[in-house]
Amino acid sequence: MKRILFVCHGNICRSPMAEFILKALVKAKGQESQYHIESAAVSREEIGNPIYPPAKRCLQQHGVWFDPNKRARQVTGADYDRFDRIICMDASNLRLIERIIPQDPEGKIHLMMSYTGVGRDVADPWYTGDFEETFQDLLEGCEAISSSF
């Protein structure tokens, strides 16, 4: 089983969107039993909060199912052993995750867009307001991830 954890700052926009986009992609391929996919935050700011409403709307507009009971949680040190890949949305997430997981001896921690061959960040729609642009980046990244295993 491939175990993937998506990480963003608060776990209410980008990382849950990526979680449910990848779940939809693997389900469409009939491979959902081969994956375990979750998402989490590097910060504690949004712990317990649901997916941000504009992120939900964007997923719905694209026909991507999401769990309405999804709640934000923070990454833990134990997640390093639980997941094969820990995929961060931006360079800030990479820096902050080092406080929780100080070492990556197995090379599990990556930037999302690195799977597409581009080293740039996924823009945070909390600040940009552009959930569609973020969705498209996440879709591109998730398609690349699902092909990389």
Annotated catalytic residue within 79, 90, 121, 124: 124
In the set 8, 13, 58, 142, the catalytic residue is 8
DSSP character at residue 3: E
Check if 124 is active-site: yes
Q: Where are the alpha helices (DSSP H) in the chain?
A: 14-28, 53-61, 79-82, 91-100, 125-128, 131-148
- Residues 15 and 7 sit within 8 Å (Cβ to Cβ): yes
**Active-site residue, selected from the candidate residues 14, 79, 85, 121:** 14
DSSP 117: T
Structure tokens of 2? Answer: 């491939």
Whether 13 is catalytic is no
Catalytic residues: 8, 14, 124
